[in-house]
Chain A
């Protein structure tokens, strides 16, 4: 069954986006990409060093869509500068806006994120903002030109799962934008649950990078995302409070 996800004019068959941070060695990245089946990979511009012998970008196969992120930005202004740097460094015109003012929990600043999205979308960037799942903010991001929104499931790197499930459910129902659940997903079952809910994709890094066997975990997430998506497309059966008898006792009344 053809079920592509189209973002910024790019057609994707994998709905698992992955990251490049936290690995014990960069040479794991191409193997993780292969096992995960992912086609989109986020990379923090702050880690990119074209002059380094071990430049992180050289480990990313050319078929991947690069999603440079503005990790480290504390204001819209910094995010905009980082996005422009990424573009001028040849990393393409996709950008994941990350504006984080809170170094204790690493929660995003939605107001600054909206400001940065307005500017960068107007400049032709394909903008994917990382955000706290708030409907008003998501609608403003949509109006600002975001190509998708990326609500957090739980704080970055926490592996705590879909703590914001109800809010993400509202974003899926109300925004009309692709919703890519980002941050917090620690288990393949949680990725599957996000996809069952109707998320368009999930992005994760810590869960794979810090697993005992990152390659096997990458494969597990590929299967989970695929299973969750299929379940969503198939339409989950209704959940009843009481047992629904397959041989009704009152059928004779009809």
Chain B
């Protein structure tokens, strides 16, 4: 069984009626539960929960502090290449846009790594556009070999790969996989992904599971919020995470909450995700999955990020550039516009002022020479 079966069942629900059937009593009941089930999760995502955001926040805050303490893990993305063979209607890297594309040489990767490592960051998420020709798994692997000397954790956000390719990258030192479904609603997915291999919905949907099978220590999933009705997308994301967590208990399943941001084109998303909606999603995720990490990117503005750090967030990006080689080279095209352009020191200052400890290192890439006899 794949998560696709659950998704198919969900898509048959008459959501127009379903969300309205939840009442304040259902929300209160869900808030009392120690372990939320699917119905409790839906209650917390429903319109009936909107007046209860503060109560949800208090519980989410308590759960987060107990499970994760007063710490916030920091990481930054590093863009290796922006070649892409897909045409997605919401992304600057789409193949229809004409701009000088780049792919870092290994020397450029090293310089970029030195610049990022100098800020103190030890966890990195490497990204590429989706092109098996320009940035194949073998290229990513070569880059990882360089990056291992600079970082204690390297995660990837690249096109979906096979289980064998993931396992090969894990052997090379990659410990985490991030892969967003972008949109779970199948018809919308078909409309937004006009051309290219990304159109194959199941290949993307099942990729996080392939990452679990390949033995990644962490797998991070998410929906690009705004592409379709947010309650349904958040529900699908959370249930996908629970599915993976139940089936692969050894893997840390994390969630991200990216909202649509301006990019090169003029596509406007179908669903407006307000700040209140974003908060409701984060809180529902935390109450449904108390042990899961929740990542907050610089897509969100500084002032909002400062408030969200107390609501269930456990990981934040800092010192971000969404351009290939954005820390050492000039003239790149950002994948999307970021909202929080503070550098690492400024993020540290903010976290400390809020009584939180920034954590730069939370894993070691294990040296094979120290393996058991």
Q: Verify that A and B bind, or say they do not.
A: yes
Residues of A within 8 A of B (CB): 21-26, 45-49, 52-53, 72, 74, 76-78, 80-82, 84-85, 101-106, 119, 157-159, 206, 209-210
Tell whether A81 pairs with B357 under 8 Å between CB atoms, given A49-B152, A102-B249, A210-B65.
no
A104 to B251, CA, bound (A): 9
B364 and chain A: residue at smallest CB distance: A46
Residues of A contacting B71 with CB < 8 Å? Answer: 21-23
* Contact B250 A84, beta carbon cutoff 8 Å: no
* Contact A24 B370, beta carbon cutoff 8 Å: no
- 3 A-B pairs with the lowest CB-CB distances in the bound complex, closest first: A22-B69, A24-B70, A49-B361
Of A45, A48, A78, A104, the most chain B CB neighbours within 10 A belong to A104
A159 to B66, CA, bound (A): 8
- B13 contacts chain A at the CB level, 8 A cutoff: no
* Contact B357 A24, beta carbon cutoff 8 Å: yes
Tell whether A74 pairs with B152 under 8 Å between CB atoms, given A102-B250, A103-B250.
no
Tell whether A49 pairs with B360 under 8 Å between CB atoms, given A103-B245, A209-B69, A210-B65.
yes
CB distance from A5 to the nearest CB of B (A): 27
- B201 contacts chain A at the CB level, 8 A cutoff: no
Question: Which residues of B (102-138) have their CB < 8 Å from a CB of A?
Answer: 120, 122
CB distance from B70 to the nearest CB of A (A): 4
- B25 contacts chain A at the CB level, 8 A cutoff: no
Partner of A23, one of B70, B122, B245, B246: B70
Tell whether A23 pairs with B360 under 8 Å between CB atoms, given A81-B367, A101-B250.
no
Q: What 9 new A-B contacts, CB under 8 Å, besides A72-B363, A210-B66, A210-B69?
A: A21-B69, A22-B71, A23-B357, A49-B361, A52-B122, A80-B371, A81-B372, A158-B66, A210-B70
Tell whether A46 pairs with B69 under 8 Å between CB atoms, given A74-B250, A103-B291.
no
Residues of B within 8 A of A (CB): 65-71, 120, 122, 152, 217, 245-246, 249-253, 291, 352, 355-357, 359-364, 366-367, 370-373
A87 and chain B: residue at smallest CB distance: B370
24 A-B contacts, Cβ less than 8 Å apart?
A: A22-B65, A22-B68, A24-B70, A24-B356, A24-B357, A26-B357, A48-B361, A49-B122, A49-B361, A72-B362, A74-B217, A74-B250, A77-B371, A77-B372, A78-B366, A80-B371, A81-B367, A84-B370, A85-B364, A102-B249, A103-B245, A106-B291, A206-B66, A210-B70
CB distance from A245 to the nearest CB of B (A): 45
CB distance from B66 to the nearest CB of A (A): 6
Residues of A contacting B357 with CB < 8 Å? Answer: 23-26
Partner of A46, one of B120, B361, B367: B361
A119 to B70, CA, bound (A): 35
A159 to B69, CA, bound (A): 12
A87 to B123, CA, bound (A): 23
CB distance from A29 to the nearest CB of B (A): 11
A74 to B122, CA, bound (A): 21
Tell whether A47 pairs with B366 under 8 Å between CB atoms, given A74-B217, A77-B371, A102-B250.
no
B355 and chain A: residue at smallest CB distance: A24
B69 and chain A: residue at smallest CB distance: A22
A21 to B73, CA, bound (A): 12
A128 to B104, CA, bound (A): 46
Tell whether A46 pairs with B363 under 8 Å between CB atoms, given A23-B70, A23-B357, A104-B249.
yes
A101 to B217, CA, bound (A): 10
* Contact B362 A46, beta carbon cutoff 8 Å: yes
A81 to B368, CA, bound (A): 8
CB distance from A66 to the nearest CB of B (A): 17
A233 to B370, CA, bound (A): 44
B351 and chain A: residue at smallest CB distance: A24
A102 and chain B: residue at smallest CB distance: B249
* Contact A81 B371, beta carbon cutoff 8 Å: yes
A159 and chain B: residue at smallest CB distance: B66
Residues of B contacting A49 with CB < 8 Å? Answer: 122, 152, 360-361
* Contact A103 B364, beta carbon cutoff 8 Å: no
* Contact B366 A82, beta carbon cutoff 8 Å: yes
Residues of B contacting A74 with CB < 8 Å? Answer: 217, 250
A55 and chain B: residue at smallest CB distance: B361
A232 to B71, CA, bound (A): 37
* Contact A103 B251, beta carbon cutoff 8 Å: yes
Residues of B contacting A101 with CB < 8 Å? Answer: 249-250
A82 to B363, CA, bound (A): 10
A126 to B252, CA, bound (A): 29
Residues of B contacting A24 with CB < 8 Å? Answer: 70, 355-357
A85 to B363, CA, bound (A): 12
Residues of B contacting A22 with CB < 8 Å? Answer: 65, 68-71
Residues of B contacting A21 with CB < 8 Å? Answer: 69, 71
A77 to B373, CA, bound (A): 9
* Contact B367 A52, beta carbon cutoff 8 Å: no
B354 and chain A: residue at smallest CB distance: A24
Residues of A contacting B67 with CB < 8 Å? Answer: 157
* Contact B370 A53, beta carbon cutoff 8 Å: no
A73 and chain B: residue at smallest CB distance: B366
A76 to B370, CA, bound (A): 12
A101 to B70, CA, bound (A): 24
A136 to B199, CA, bound (A): 54
* Contact B361 A81, beta carbon cutoff 8 Å: no
* Contact A53 B120, beta carbon cutoff 8 Å: yes
A21 to B65, CA, bound (A): 11
* Contact B372 A47, beta carbon cutoff 8 Å: no
CB distance from B238 to the nearest CB of A (A): 14
B63 and chain A: residue at smallest CB distance: A157
